[in-house]
Structure 1
Amino acid sequence: MSREAILAAIKKNQPATQVLPDLAGFSHAGPGDPEAFRKVVEALGGQVFEITSFDEIQPLVAEHYTDVSKVVTINPAYFAGAATQWQEGDGRQLEHVDLAIIPGQFGVAENGAIWVTESEIEVRVLPFITQHLAIVINKDKILPTMHDAYAYIGAPTTGFGAFIAGPSKTADIEQSLVLGAHGAKSLTVFMIG
């Protein structure tokens, strides 16, 4: 059978075109529920602290992370004494980071995911190479669903973005759960507002 005959047969057997479904019913008007967001993050193995100012972050870190020595942050207001000049390099300079504190653009109530882009984290590998990850988000930036999240993002304006939900984990066929398998061992969300 010739190439032209094969292509003609494929073209002849195309399914009928259909109108795409209307997804408007999946979007919600208004903000997401911070309490629903909290429950999902905690169910995924993370923890959420509601704070009213950045000054509350450092005491909470000292209370809940007694084994960290190297802390890096994007915003010096998050943690006094955090490492500086860590952005330069190919990512290997972050090998011994115990805790990274980064901002997130928004959270999603239905699945506990937080959207971060390279404009917030500066070094793409940071949230994945650190031992522990903390993300700061505004309480009023919780969206109800992923449909709302994608509508909010629109056309991406950065080269890299990721939804992060809970600490890294994997389970084998025997359902043995391992935290920190290929990323941060823990996730803490500081919800300010």
Structure 2
Amino acid sequence: MSSREKILVAVKNNQPALQQLPDLASVNAITYNDKFLQFSTVLTAIGGTVVEIKSTNEIIEYVKTNFSSNQNYITTLPQLQEFKALDENLDPHTLENIEVAIVAVRFGVAENGSVWLTGDEIKIRALPFICEHLAVVLQKNDLLNNMQEAYNLIGETQYGIGVFIAGPSKTADIEQSLVLGAHGPKTMTVFVVS
């Protein structure tokens, strides 16, 4: 038996007993009268941008106006034919020069300004982390109050990948100064479709 196998057997034999998960129904979760206002306030405070739109056509004009004219844009949304469609079979390394990636999200959480994406939305796992600017499309009706509601929605579902993202990448490790875009997108724009 190799050292690796011995370690894995030892870990397996010394695991703590399983415990029942807490009953989240008994937790007094926060709810908001205006989920959109809460979501926008929190996301803006952590460095994100919220743009309320009536249709996805407005995304095209916004992206062209607010990002460089380099036009290295990619999307997973078929209705945004103006931009290059993401080919799911691409080598993720070819995405390293993507300026703007535009993807749909399943829902947003008002409590913390986060959005939930799965492999179905992003197609290639690296996409929302390797682009220079991340833009996501969220239906206003898909805003939840809090993380308890979010976990109730995703709890038993199986995903290849699922991730909450809230705002652009950031760190304050460098001389205690906040740096945006340190390990991922420099900006995050959430297009909220009314």
Once the two structures are superposed, residues 133-172 of structure 1 have per-residue CA deviations (whole angstroms, 9 ceiling, x without a partner) of: 0000100111111111000112132210000000000112
Task: Supply the AA of the counterpart residue of 1:87.
Answer: E
Identify which of 58, 61, 64 aligns with 1:62: 64
Distance 2:70 2:189 in 1: 14
> Contact 2:100 / 2:134 at 8 angstroms: preserved in 1?
yes
Take 1:99 and 1:152, find their aligned partners in 2: how far apart are those partners? 29
Instruction: Tell me if structure 2 keeps the 8 A contact 1:72–1:100.
Output: yes
Residues 32-68 of structure 1, C-alpha deviation per residue, up to 9 Å, x if partnerless?
7111000111001010111111111111112211354
**Paired residues of 2:76 and 2:85 also in contact (CA < 8 A):** no
The 5-angstrom pairing of residues 1-193 of structure 1 reads 22-24=23-25, 25-27=27-29, 33-78=35-80, 80-84=81-85, 86-172=87-173, 174-193=175-194
CA RMSD of aligned residues (A): 2.6
**Could you say which residue in structure 2 is the equivalent of 1:8?**
none
Give the count of matched residue pairs.
Answer: 178
Q: Please tell me whether the aligned partners of residues 101 and 128 of structure 2 are also in contact (alpha carbons under 8 angstroms).
A: yes
Q: 1:175 to 1:30 in 2, by over 3 A?
A: closer
Letter in 2 for 1:52: K
Identity of matched residues, %? 45
| 1:106–1:19 distance in 2 versus 1, CA, 3 Å | closer
Runs of 4+ in 1 over 3 A off after TM superposition: 18-22, 26-32
The letter of the residue matching 1:48 is: V
Distance of aligned partners of 1:77 and 1:20 in 2 relative to their CA distance in 1, 3 Å threshold: closer
Structure 1 length as normaliser, TM-score? 0.83
Aligned counterparts of 2:98 and 2:20: Cα–Cα separation in 1: 50
Whole-Å separation in 2 of the counterparts to 1:156 and 1:20: 17
Q: Which structure 1 residue ranges, 5 or more long, are not aligned?
A: 1-13
Identify the residue that residue 4 of structure 1 maps to in structure 2: none
Q: Name the aligned partner's letter for residue 186 of structure 2.
A: K
- Structure of higher CA gyration radius: 1
Local SS of the residue matching 1:155:
coil
In the TM superposition, what is the alpha-carbon distance from 1:29 to its structure 2 partner? 7.5
Contact 2:109–2:145 (CA<8 Å) still a contact in 1? yes
In structure 1, distance between residues paired with 2:152 and 2:101: 28
